[in-house]
Amino acid sequence: MNSERENADTTENAVVIPFPRRSTTDPAWTYRQSGHRTRSRRFVGTAIRVGGAEGRRLRRELASITADLLRWAAQQQQVDKATEENQERAA
């Protein structure tokens, strides 16, 4: 992880972006998850366009987070493959 993002995670460097109040009847997206053994859940989200310097900063941060996640997923695949190969050899 890069130190810039780690530093941004501390409370003194936190950036708080207030979300405008929107009607819950006008969501940008909705996802309903039916529960078989648990309650059903409903997720709702809205998209807020951010431009200028703040938009560029957010896109850089999102790109960095996405790259970290993709590296982690690739490592997990390697670990899973190695574990599977070891189990096959042991059998």
Residue 84 belongs to domain spanning: 51-91
Q: How many domains does the chain have?
A: 1
Report field, pTM of the whole predicted structure over 0.95: no
| Any domain includes 32 | no
What's the confidence (pLDDT) of residue 72? 94
| Any domain includes 2 | no
What's the confidence (pLDDT) of residue 85? 82
* Model confidence pLDDT, tens digit, residues 37-88: 778 888 888 877 888 999 999 999 999 999 999 999 999 988 888 888 888 8
Distance of alpha carbon 72 from alpha carbon 29, whole angstroms: 28
Q: Give the tokens for residue 34.
A: 């039916």
